[in-house]
Amino acid sequence: MTTERARISLSVAPAYTGSELLAVMSARLLKDGQTVFAGVGIPLLAAILAQKTHAPGLTILFEGGVIGPFVEAGKLPPSTNEQRCSRRANMLVSITEVLLLLQRGYVDVGFMGGAQIDRFGNLNSSFIGDAENPKIRLPGTGGGNDIASLADMIVAMKHEKRRFVEKVDFITSPGFLDGGDTRAQAGLPAGGMFRVVTDLGILGFEAESRAMTVLALHPGVSAADIKANTGFELPVPDDVEVTPAPTPNELAILRELDPEQLYTA
């Protein structure tokens, strides 16, 4: 996919890429002592960044079967299933077992990227267009469906109108389905969308309706900017917070982790 973005006027050019912003803002949402089921890319970078800043006791899980690894700077894995993911882990288990940790309730936060999301936080990574005659067949759920069904979710993604849609083409990983209590009604009483982190702001979900709402905007981003890049009605409170910009320390850690900008270009 190429990026198509409604124009945003920033007063000064930022000293970081959109991916770096995503990683920093996501990392800040993770709490010390939590157990995080992370995908590769931004989620992995953000989790390591959190470990190296405010959350040294964060436990990272990978769907390849890895519990509490140490990922080396400059040796980021191409997926969560290669040995690079497992270096100096506390424990390796089968894929089925690590996913069952989600079901047993051992995971605090699921953390992944997304191709398409809708008002109720449903994610699509399977089909662009009609599933029967798709314009693009995407790679599919992997562990995404399981993670989103069973854990509190943080999603990190680029904020573009065609990604933030009224209704996803296909529900690969469930958010709040049709809002309200429809998720629990479908047999998913636990977990659900917690935060969506984008390069424009931080989003949450209203307690009753379960519709997406803006919690904070990143430095230099206006309410109009974020609305213009969202394909559905997105409420922005008048007194919306502004996130503190990424610090030099955060950026330095990220750049050491991913010197070749595999995931942060």
CB-nearer residue toward another protein: 65 or 246: 65
Q: How many residues bind another protein (CB under 8 A)?
A: 73
Which of 12, 13, 96, 239 binds another protein (CB under 8 A)? It is 96
The DSSP letter of residue 257 is H
Nearest by Cα to 191 from 82, 86, 111: 111
Which of 4, 10, 15, 32 binds another protein (CB under 8 A)? It is 32
- Dist. CA 29–CA 47, nearest whole Å: 10
Does 132 qualify as catalytic in the annotation? no
Structure tokens at 35: 């157990």
Burial class (CB in 10 A: 0-12, 13-18, 19+), 238: exposed
Set 63, 233, 250, 256: catalytic member: 63
Coil/strand/helix, residue 88: coil
User: Could you tell me the smallest distance in angstroms from the CB atom of residue 190 to another protein?
Assistant: 5
Site string for another protein, 54-93 (x = CB under 8 A): ---x-x---xxxxxxxx-------xx-xxxx-xxxxxxxx
Quick one: how far is CA 216 from the chain centroid? 16
User: Could you tell me the smallest distance in angstroms from the CB atom of residue 78 to another protein?
Assistant: 5
Q: Does 108 bind another protein (CB under 8 A)?
A: yes
Nearest by Cα to 115 from 106, 107, 104, 124: 124
Interaction with another protein in 164-183: which residues (CB under 8 A)?
A: 170-174, 177, 182-183
Q: Does 15 bind another protein (CB under 8 A)?
A: no
Q: Annotated catalytic sites, by residue?
A: 63
